[in-house]
Every structure is written in structure tokens, then in C-alpha cells.
Structure 1
């Protein structure tokens, strides 16, 4: 694999750390800025809001900027957002900093996915995209716990200063390791928008929303279930979450080569497996060793869907994949919010702490249905892991349409 993928993975590590670390720092932030923990929870939503709106907006604005330069600019915005968060004097300015830090998230992964696929070449594109996503999953194992510990001992501002430092290191790595891609300039906003409106792209985004909502319906309440149902102490919750992150990493590692070999079957299998292990968790959550094993499986099955979904949407967007790939991360964050909301409704309705597992299974099954419908609408159902470079689009359009349906 090209060394340039390391620069993308380092960037993804920083993005993943700042996205999830706030959940562990809410009490510290609330105490320091004189607000309640539930109110401080809006900081999590603020970042997600930045992702949802920033992905299509920044991708559209940068549609004609060379991709290497665009990646560096996006990490620059990310770094400024985290620095602004570290220096925020009030809760309102911290909200603004979190929104700013979230704005480049989806656009970076959209552009980065296209660059990774282009650098890897045919037959290894999904593995390249998975390597970038690996930085995101490793952040859940190493980055988030370490950053949380740092924030608890040195203050939450120190956490965001360190993340800003990771952003600067990522910018340097991108500048040094990503080659210039003169023929990889954006396809133009009009073509990107037309590609985004394609039936198969929209079905892919819908699959992401439902499928990942199933993951977050459970992940959002995993700590509470571990304590209230399984019987773990509050100090053991970090270990449970680290196991979830380990499962995510294993899932991403497996998804790359499997997607290169057979995209649709990998997606179907991951979504079906996710629905099955979420149902299983409703039973195993009562036994500690079984609950821990199932948590790893949930993380693995959930993350196994990310690479084939990203490749599917990029393939279906044909010669203008960047906006569609970025919008997929808006869909991930909608899934985050929607899954947490539905899981919370189930608990608030008196269905019990384990009820989000069945809600999540139903959502994963709905995602599988969307994926199957999408496959049935294809002429041949075959999905090669191939992304057409926009610079070669005019020359390859007919061939690309024939190959990806």
C-alpha cells in the first residue's frame, strides 16, 4: 500500500479522537464553564451538526480545488476548530468551535476516499479506503481513552490543544506524502450534484442511515447497559468501550479485502450479521464474558459495513464521486443522532435498558432491505471496487457505466 495512506490514517485518527472524546469530558466542561452535563451534551450534537452541513457544503465549494490542496485546507479548518475549542472563553464560543471542527469531517473523508482509491489502483481500492478508516477506529481504542485521561488530569482544554497538534502533524504528513494529482481536480459542482441525485446513490445513503443507526442505537447506551444490566463497575466501562473499538478495527481490516473481492455480498453479510448479533446481545448482556464477546462482534459487524457502503456510493456516483462520498458521512452522523434518539425512546417508554438492542436490530434489518433493493435494481448486481477518476471521466464514461451499472 502507498505510504501516502499513512497521512490519511493519521488525519482520520485526529478526526476520530475529537469526534468522540467530548462524551468523556462532559462533566469537566460543564463544571468549568458553569453549565449542566445535559446542556454540555449539546457539544456532541454541535460537532455532528457541523459534519452534516459541512460535508456537502465544503465539498461543493472545493469542487475545483486539486485534491491534495483540498485535503490540507480541510485539515487546516479542523486544526483551527480544535484550537478555537481549546481557547473558548464561554460555552457559546465552545459550541462554535465544535461546529467549526466538525465542518471538514465529511468532506475530508469524501476527498480522502477518492484519493486513497486512486493511489491504490484497481483491485486494491477498497483496502486503501479501509486503511484510511483504520485511523478512525484506532482512535476509539487509543486516542479517545488517552485524550479523556489527559483532559481529566490536565483539563479539557489540554485535550483540544493536543488534537490541534495532531491536526498540524497531519497537515505536514499530507503535504509530504500525498502526491500531486493534476488530473484529479473536481468534476465540477453540476456533475457532482447530478451524481448525488442518482437513485443508486440515494439508496446507498439510505442504507447508511438505517444500518448505522442500528449500531448507534446500542452504542449510545452501551455504558449504561454495562453498568445497569451486566453489572460492571463504572470504572470498567472504558474497557468495554475499548473492546467495541477493537471490534471496529477488526471489522475494517476484514472489510477491505472482502469488498475488493465481492462488494455486495460483503455488505449484505455485514448488515445481516449486525442484525443477528444485536438480537444476540439482548440475551448475552446478562452474562459478563458473553456480553464482552458480543460487544466485539457488534463493533466488527458495524464497521464492516462502512467500507462497502463507501465504495458502493463512490462507484454509483461514477465520474463524480467526491460529493457523494462526503455526503455518506453526513448520513453516518444522521444515523448517530437517529439511532441514539430511537434507543432513548425505547428506554424512556419503559421497555428496559436492553430494548435498544432490538431497536438496533430492526434498523439494521431495514438497512439490509435497502441494500437488497439497490442490488435488485442493478442490471447485473455486480459491484467492482473501482472508482473512476474525474480527470479520466470523459474517456472512460461508457466503460464505467457498463462496469458499475
Structure 2
């Protein structure tokens, strides 16, 4: 993994057309990155699937239990810039390894928690590495797939997270239902340790993945276009979390199905996210804004249907797919726009994108919890998400004329 010939080949390789040996080695790098994001996504989204379980175990209400989910999101929001800037000079390989060590520790502490305060602290620690992991992972993936494919590179790292919503989160929820919610986090810690070993063995330690000066990272945060894009992400993507946070009650209370249907609903959401992520990655590399507008507008249509007809299981399940697909279509475009506005700080931009998305997590969970706690029913959380995404689309429209036009690899 350290030989110069491989580094030169891998830096500009087309994984699908490269000679088998190089394609296999590059594929293992991408797999290890996606495996790590799979573990992170499983931990994050499974918490929403077992919300009712740890709420009952810790003797707290459902709206209060969402504070633990919010704590994780704040961990990501704070950790994304703080960890990335603190580790600005680190080579991306050891950075990824240390981030996974912290993630494993946070999930072990989550399993050992005995009250809401200690559980929220443990979830906060678990969230600290996420933004920096995706930022560093996107840089490594870009190194593998070559220039002009930033959207695809980010989508490849995100692939693990979206697959987690299909496989990891439903299985972890099933495990929590039958063996206790604490075992969900212990299982995540075990598979995250395996991901750590994959990163150790397959990600190359090359000078091409060295960090840069701290001031170079900080300069990126002075650009208004960066902050405008982050605001759009934080507001617009909130609908995913307004819906996903209450997916258990939506199934059992709104649609009157048994809890055995919750993993299926999670999987439907995950399939949608995976399809949307793949499609969105390709759109992001070809068009400056189409993926975002398509994703946000599509999500608004699906959420309106879900909010009105979601008590019908035949409507609710396809709508779960639709919300996930539409919103994930927009996320790679957000990353490409951030990288365009601050090309000197790709790791930080990847981290800040994840920070924005987890601000969405906090906002969505809070807004949904507010409407539910006010007595408007669980479907009101969907309307909360609808309003937030609409606001994000409006902000994007207002800030777009002020952002400089840019060409992607496929446009002039």
C-alpha cells in the first residue's frame, strides 16, 4: 500500500476501467471508508429506531428522549470544525483511525448509561468524530476516484451511511427489541472495531493525504457562500430527521401496525436514501444546483402526501422510501458547492457539510418533538419537516443569485 507506483496509479484511477490489481486495491480503500460510515450511520439512525425502548428503560417521555438524539447531533456539529481544525496537519490515515477509536468508546459508554444525562453525554462523545471522519474520508475517496468527481467521491463515502439505514439500523433495532437496547450499542462498537482494522490495513499512508496549515482551514470559514450553503443544508435536510426520529411512533401509533413493522419502515427509508445518494452524486458532478432543487422539491411533494395520508400503511411505507430518496439526492450537491467555494479546505468542507446535516438532525428532532408534545399527533412531525425544507429551498433561492456561477467537470 505504500509503494510509489500504486500511489501514482491510485491518484487518478478510474476504478471501473483500471487493471484488476489496482482496481481491487482501490476498491478495498473505498470499502473501508464506507464500512466506517456504515458503523457511524448504524449508531446514529438506530438510536431513532430504539427511541421508545431507551425512553422506557430510562423512565423518560418520548419528547425528552429526543434530547439524546439532539446531543449526538451537537457532538457532530461541535466536533466537525473543532476536530478538523485541531487535526489539520495530520495525515488522513491516522486521523481516520483515531476518530474510529473515539467512536467505539462513545458507543461502549452509551451501552453503560443508566440515566438520560449520562446517556446524552455518551451520545455526544459518539457524535464528535462523525464530521471529521466524513471530511477526511471524502478527501481519501477523491484521491482514489480522481479529480472532477467530488460528488461521486462524497457519495461513495456516504454509501456506507445509506446502507446502514437499509441493513444496519433495522438489524440494530431488531436486536434492541429482542435483546435489549444496550446491546445495540455494544454491537455497533464491535463492528466499528472491525472497520478500524480495515482502515488500518487498506488505507495508504501517503504524503498525498497529508494535512495542511490551520490558517488555510480557517480562511474557508470567512467566506459567506460557505455559510449560506450550510444554512440551506441545516434547514432543508431537517425533514429527514423530523420524520425519521418518530418513525417508530408513526408506524405503531399513526398507522396502527405492530412494532415488528418498524425495521421494515427503516429499511424502506434506507433504500430510498441509497437510491437518492447514487443519483445525487452523479447530478452533483454535472450540474451546479439541479440535484438540490430536485431533491428539496421532491421531498416537499412526498411529505405533503405522507402528512395527509400517512395513517394508511400502503401510503406510509412508499412515502418513507420517497422522503429518503428525494432528500439524499440533494446532499452530494451541497458537498460539491462547499468544495467549490473553499477548494483549499476539502476536509473541513466535508466536515462542515456533516455538521450542517446534524444541525438538521437537531432541528428536525426538536421541531417534530415540539409539534408532537403540543398534542398535534405524530403526523404533525411530518408537517414540521415540510416547513423546514420549504424554508431551506427559499433561502437557497435568495442566496443563489449572490453566489458566483461555477462549472462542474461536465459543464462549461
TM-score (norm 1): 0.86
Deviation at 1:163, TM superposition (A): 1.5
Aligned to 2:8: none
Q: Show structure 2 runs of 5+ residues with no match.
A: 1-14, 16-25
Counterpart-to-counterpart distance in 2, 1:88 and 1:189: 36
Aligned to 1:267: 292
State whether residues 85 and 94 of structure 1, in contact with CA within 8 Å, keep that contact through their aligned partners in structure 2: yes
Aligned to 1:393: none
Taking only aligned residues, the RMSD between alpha carbons, in angstroms, comes to 2.6
Q: 1:300 to 1:348 in 2, by over 3 A?
A: same
State whether residues 72 and 126 of structure 2, in contact with CA within 8 Å, keep that contact through their aligned partners in structure 1: yes
Counterpart-to-counterpart distance in 2, 1:77 and 1:177: 20
Deviation at 1:102, TM superposition (A): 1.4
* Match runs of 1:24-35 below 5 Å: 24-26=49-51, 28-29=53-54, 35=59
State whether residues 315 and 321 of structure 1, in contact with CA within 8 Å, keep that contact through their aligned partners in structure 2: no
* Match runs of 1:39-50 below 5 Å: 40-50=65-75
Check if 1:293 corresponds to 2:330: no
Counterpart-to-counterpart distance in 2, 1:270 and 1:31: 36
State whether residues 173 and 184 of structure 2, in contact with CA within 8 Å, keep that contact through their aligned partners in structure 1: yes
Check if 1:382 corresponds to 2:382: no
Deviation at 1:325, TM superposition (A): 2.0
Counterpart-to-counterpart distance in 2, 1:86 and 1:118: 36
Aligned to 2:356: 331
Deviation at 1:59, TM superposition (A): 0.6
State whether residues 49 and 245 of structure 2, in contact with CA within 8 Å, keep that contact through their aligned partners in structure 1: no
Counterpart-to-counterpart distance in 1, 2:407 and 2:395: 16
Deviation at 1:292, TM superposition (A): 2.1
Deviation at 1:198, TM superposition (A): 0.7
Q: Residues 103-143 of structure 1, C-alpha deviation per residue, up to 9 Å, x if partnerless?
A: 10111111111221232112433222111111111111211
Aligned to 1:184: 209
Alignment: residue pair count? 386
Check if 1:5 corresponds to 2:35: no
Q: 1:385 to 1:73 in 2, by over 3 A?
A: farther
Aligned to 2:123: 98
Which of 26, 36, 46 is 2:60 aligned to? 36
Which of 216, 236, 243 is 1:211 aligned to? 236
Q: Show structure 1 runs of 5+ residues with no match.
A: 387-402
Q: Residues 141-195 of structure 1, C-alpha deviation per residue, up to 9 Å, x if partnerless?
A: 2112222332343344433232222222112211222222313322322221120
Counterpart-to-counterpart distance in 1, 2:59 and 2:372: 25
Q: 1:221 to 1:24 in 2, by over 3 A?
A: closer
* Match runs of 1:2-401 below 5 Å: 2-3=26-27, 4-26=29-51, 28-29=53-54, 35-36=59-60, 38=62, 40-88=65-113, 92-349=117-374, 351-379=376-404, 381-384=405-408
Aligned to 1:391: none
Q: 1:18 to 1:229 in 2, by over 3 A?
A: closer
